Amino acid sequence: MTVYYSLDPSAKIDAIKEACAAAKAGGYDFICVPQWFVSTAAEALADSPVGVATILSLPGGTTSSKSKYAEAKWAIVNGADLLIFPVNMALCAAGEFDKAKGDLDSALVACKTANGRKRGVKPAALVDGGELDADGIKKTVSFCAAAGVAPIFVAHNEEAVNALKNEFEAVQAF
* Residue ranges covered by each domain of the chain: 3-173
- Reported as a single tens digit per residue, the pLDDT across 20-66 is 999 999 999 999 999 999 999 999 999 999 999 999 987 667 788 88
- Reported as a single tens digit per residue, the pLDDT across 120-138 is 789 999 999 998 999 999 9
Predicted confidence band of residue 115 (pLDDT cuts 50, 70, 90): very low
Concatenate the DSSP letters of all residues of 94-151 into one string: TT-HHHHHHHHHHHHGGGEETTEESTTPEEEEEEETTSS-HHHHHHHHHHHHHTT---
Specify the pTM.
0.90
Residue 114 has pLDDT above 60, yes or no: no
How far apart CA 38 and CA 23 sit, in angstroms, is 14
Q: Which residues contact residue 46 at a Cβ distance below 8 angstroms, ignoring those fewer than 6 apart?
A: none
Residue 112 pLDDT: 75
Cβ 153 vs Cβ 126: under 8 Å: yes
How far apart CA 62 and CA 74 sit, in angstroms, is 18
Superfamily of domain 3-173: Aldolase class I (3.20.20.70)
Cβ 37 vs Cβ 16: under 8 Å: yes
Cβ 122 vs Cβ 145: under 8 Å: no
Predicted confidence band of residue 116 (pLDDT cuts 50, 70, 90): very low
How far apart CA 122 and CA 32 sit, in angstroms, is 13
